[in-house]
């Protein structure tokens, strides 16, 4: 789960929601402010990523272990949802069902942050800062689904999207009395500075197919039974895997996240019309216009909760 990030080369810019967080509450700190500034990967002006080495990924994992050992960090995210083992003993109450919470933010990441189900194909090490890594849809697509598209889709510093790409959408919910809006600052209010948080995660694969799901409909929200709800979250993509975790994002590749999040990750990927994703990026109340990067998959059992089968 990650607020808006904008990286140029080695990032120094904080996500724009950070200022909102400092004003509204000390609950959240900058998710991207801990990035190491000495990684070897760079991006050229064309947006092509130079992948980092396996050794650099190992270094990041070692630093994460060192920076969290014995400090009381709770379970972390993202994770392999097909692996139920975990030895982190820090527990917290699961958030209520999302139908009893307020939708406060929607954003998405290029490639799935989680692994499992039918999104198990590793995208590669990426640039060390969350781009061109993560996991891809492992199924097959037709030639027509993959037909090239001429327009730029949700372009960002690291390029845009194209048919065949995988995205993980985070429908963020809060126990606070809030309404949908930009950044995770929308998940707080002046009366509740430490709300329970729940993320309903759905992985989509982008296809050049007008008959595929419409992203605008998938993100439609309205007030229902006293709560703001995303009313079209897919219900046919498998039983969600629920577990205790944390906020995500590449700013935590080497640092533990102190924030507690209840996750529900659906194991099956749904096809979505790439043009509808572009339309959403051009206009939405969340001020989202490009895909975010992903955090390294958490594999250290000491940083994972056990999942109830």
The token duo for 15 is 């996500």
Please list the alpha-helical segments (H only) found in 182-285: 215-218, 274-282
Name the residue ranges covered by the structural domains of the chain.
Answer: 17-303
pLDDT range class, residue 309, cuts 50, 70, 90? confident
Task: Single out the residue of 189, 191, 261 nearest to residue 228, CA to CA.
Answer: 189
What pLDDT digit, counting tens, does each position of 153-163 carry?
999 988 899 99
What pLDDT digit, counting tens, does each position of 74-123 carry?
999 999 999 999 999 999 999 999 999 999 999 999 999 999 999 999 99
Under a CB-based contact definition with an 8 Å cutoff, are residues 145 and 209 in contact? yes
Rg (CA), the chain: 18
What pTM was computed for the model?
A: 0.85
Dihedral sign of CA atoms 83, 87, 88, 93 in order: positive
Q: What is the mean pLDDT of residues 117-144?
A: 97
Q: How many other CB atoms are there within 10 angstroms of residue 236's CB atom? A: 7
The token duo for 213 is 């799901």
Q: How many other CB atoms are there within 10 angstroms of residue 274's CB atom? A: 28
CA 256, chain centre distance (Å): 16
pLDDT of residue 190: 87
Asked if the model's pLDDT at residue 15 lies above 80, the reply is: no
Report d(CA 186, CA 298) in Å as an integer: 27
Average pLDDT along the chain: 87
What pLDDT digit, counting tens, does each position of 245-284 carry?
999 999 999 999 999 999 999 999 999 999 999 999 999 9
Please list the alpha-helical segments (H only) found in 145-273: 215-218
The token duo for 153 is 């889709």
Task: Single out the residue of 117, 154, 178 nearest to residue 281, CA to CA.
Answer: 154
Report d(CA 285, CA 232) in Å as an integer: 17
Under a CB-based contact definition with an 8 Å cutoff, are residues 246 and 75 in contact? yes
pLDDT of residue 194: 87
H or E segment at 159?
strand 159-161
pLDDT range class, residue 28, cuts 50, 70, 90? very low
Q: Report strand pairing: 227-230 vs 121-122.
A: unpaired
């Amino acid at each position: 789960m990650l607020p808006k990030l904008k990286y140029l080369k080695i990032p120094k810019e904080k996500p724009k929601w950070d200022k909102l967080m400092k004003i509204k509450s000390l609950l959240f700190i900058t998710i991207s402010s801990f990035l190491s500034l000495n990684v070897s990967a760079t991006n050229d002006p064309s947006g092509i990523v130079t992948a980092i080495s396996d050794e650099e990924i190992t270094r990041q994992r070692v630093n994460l272990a060192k920076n969290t050992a014995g400090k009381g960090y709770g379970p972390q995210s993202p994770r392999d949802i097909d692996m139920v083992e975990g030895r982190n003993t820090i527990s917290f109450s699961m958030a209520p069902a999302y139908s009893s919470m307020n939708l406060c933010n929607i954003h998405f990441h290029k490639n799935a942050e989680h692994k499992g189900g039918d999104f198990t194909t590793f995208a590669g090490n990426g640039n060390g800062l969350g781009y061109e890594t993560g996991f891809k849809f492992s199924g097959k697509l037709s030639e027509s689904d993959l037909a090239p598209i001429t327009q730029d889709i949700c372009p960002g510093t690291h390029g845009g999207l194209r048919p065949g790409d995988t995205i993980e959408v985070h429908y963020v919910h809060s126990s606070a009395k809030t309404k949908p809006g930009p950044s995770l600052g929308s998940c707080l209010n002046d009366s509740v500075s430490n709300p329970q948080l729940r993320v309903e995660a759905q992985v989509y694969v982008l296809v050049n197919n007008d008959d595929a799901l419409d992203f605008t409909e998938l993100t439609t929200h309205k007030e229902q039974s006293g709560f703001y709800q995303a009313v079209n979250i897919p219900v046919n993509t498998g039983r969600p895997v629920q577990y205790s975790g944390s906020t995500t994002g590449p700013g935590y590749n080497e640092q533990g996240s102190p924030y507690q999040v209840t996750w529900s990750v659906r194991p099956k990927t749904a096809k979505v019309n790439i043009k509808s994703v572009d339309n959403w990026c051009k206009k939405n109340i969340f001020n989202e216009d490009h895909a975010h990067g992903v955090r390294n998959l958490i594999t250290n059992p000491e940083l994972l909760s056990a999942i109830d089968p």
